[in-house]
Amino acid sequence: MEEIRALLDAVLNIEFIRAVISNPRKKEGIIKVKVRPLEKRGQLVFQFESFTAKQAFHSNLDKKEAGEKFMEYAEQFRQIQIETTGEEYTVLISKKGKATVKKSRRR
């Protein structure tokens, strides 16, 4: 999980475009989370949009809170797709919690 923490520290900035957290370990509850950057009152925040079967929930978090929320979701989901202005990252998380990070250049 330290790989994920280091990756988030590097990408949660002005170059962040979006992230999708998907493939939940449990079929009930939240099934997908989308994250996008917003500028609110001159400050960069990250909007988390969590989807259940019938509802969507929104929360705006600063960089530190967003990193903590990502780590919570990393335990509940198997896949995280992150896009920045230069790269795309795919994070796959195994049953035992081992994270594999694949990085590719953005087209």
* pTM for the model: 0.92
CA angle 7, 92, 61 (to 5 degrees): 45
* Residue-level pLDDT, tens digit, the chain, 107 residues: 888 999 999 999 999 999 999 999 998 999 999 999 999 999 999 999 999 999 999 999 999 999 999 999 999 999 999 999 999 999 999 998 899 999 999 77
pLDDT value of residue 19 = 97
pLDDT value of residue 106 = 77
